[in-house]
Amino acid sequence: MLDDRQLKEIKKLAIRIKIGVIDELEEVGSGHLGGSLSAADPLAVLYGAVMKYDPKNPKWEERDKFVLSKGHCGPALYATLAIKGFFPYEELKTLNKPHTNLPSHVDKNKTPGVDMTTGSLGQGASTAVGMALGEKLRGKNTRVFLMTGDGEIDEGQVWEAAMFAAAKGLNNLCWMVDFNKKQLDGTIKDILDTGDLEAKFSAFGFDAVTVKGDDYAALYEVFMKRSDKPVAVILDTIKGRGIKEVEETPDNHSMTVSHESAARWRDELKAALSAIEGDK
């Protein structure tokens, strides 16, 4: 169980990741804001308290791996990695610029700390399952954390990967679905209703559970849980979480980020950070 001090650190980390996302997107003027913000809360728990890694040795053999299969949300992962010391924070300002190490969709050959190249939706799920199998075959005591989107799971290969993971007993795999109820150009309900995801993953042979995306204490417990099956965590999230105006924008998949809006949103996040710091 996380103690109060650890919980506070994770809450602060989540906000700092969101500020990092704004710092990145302001520089390019637009980007995948909604899905980066909904991913930030679970990322804070994973990189703040759960995963084994070494920023000075990103390819450390005994590290846990993270696959951001919804690779368009690279800004959230980059902010996390920068804050955790994989590369200088200032580099976030190079997002998606020529010759950057931080392309808008993640690339393991470019960015220290990125474990898999993604962006073509669905493929990250297959590669993460392959990685989990590989780690098991090599007798490693490591884990693979995978995050897919809720629109992404419309891709057929995702379910082939899920069936394979359960059939091979990959209990070193923790598969998150960022269930933010929206995809690129509409809601999940309107475009292709996923139905009861917890029941679906259970039926595929996972230990499946639904957790609020910003219930940090509950997320920690679920991420630490081990069983003989792979774990599926349906993250009940809000696209744009943490910035009211973004949460309330219906089409918040990719948004323009002007200097004015960035300043306003940063102020809101900094106020939330100060409230936590002031909270004894």
Give the footprint of ligand TPP on this chain (CB under 6 A). Answer: 34-35, 70, 72-73, 119-122, 149-152, 178, 180, 182-184, 239, 253
> For residues 34 and 113, which CB has a smaller minimum distance to Mg ion in the complex?
34
Of 24, 64, 135, 150, which lies in the binding site for Mg ion, with binding defined by CB under 5 A? 150
* Nearest distance in Å: CB 34, Mg ion: 8
Residue 83 interacting partner from Mg ion, ligand TPP, none (CB closer than 5 to 8 Å by kind): none
Applying CB under 5 A, which part among 24-32, 154-162, 168-176, 178-186 lies near Mg ion?
178-186
Residue 184 interacting partner from Mg ion, ligand TPP, none (CB closer than 5 to 8 Å by kind): ligand TPP
Burial 224-260 (b: 16+ CB within 10 A, else e): eeeeebbbbbbbbbbbbbbbeebeeeeebbbbebeee
Beta bridge pairs of residue 68: 147
State yes or no: residue 155 binds Mg ion (CB under 5 A): no
Of 71, 113, 149, 213, which lies in the binding site for Mg ion, with binding defined by CB under 5 A? 149
Instruction: Please give the size of the binding site for Mg ion, defined by CB under 5 A.
Output: 6
State yes or no: residue 180 binds Mg ion (CB under 5 A): yes
State yes or no: residue 148 binds Mg ion (CB under 5 A): no
Q: In which region does residue 24 sit, left (phi positive, over 0), alpha (psi from -120 to 50) or beta (all else)?
A: alpha
Tell me the CA end-to-end span of the chain in Å, nearest whole number. Answer: 20
State yes or no: residue 69 binds Mg ion (CB under 5 A): no
In terms of Cα–Cα distance, which of 122, 26, 4 is closest to 70? Answer: 122
* Nearest distance in Å: CB 97, ligand TPP: 20
Following CA atoms 46, 51, 55, 58 in sequence, which dihedral angle do they give, to the nearest 10 degrees?
-120
> For residues 48 and 240, which CB has a smaller minimum distance to ligand TPP in the complex?
240
What's the rounded Cα separation, in Å, for the pair 106 and 244?
A: 27
Q: Are strands 207-212 and 30-31 parallel, antiparallel or unpaired?
A: unpaired
Q: What is the DSSP string of 101-115?
A: S--SS--TTTSTT--
* Nearest distance in Å: CB 149, Mg ion: 4
* Nearest distance in Å: CB 91, ligand TPP: 23
Distances from the Cα of 68 to the Cα of 3, 5, 134, 260, 279, angstroms:
28, 28, 18, 30, 33
Chain positions contacting Mg ion, by CB under 5 A = 149-151, 180, 182-183
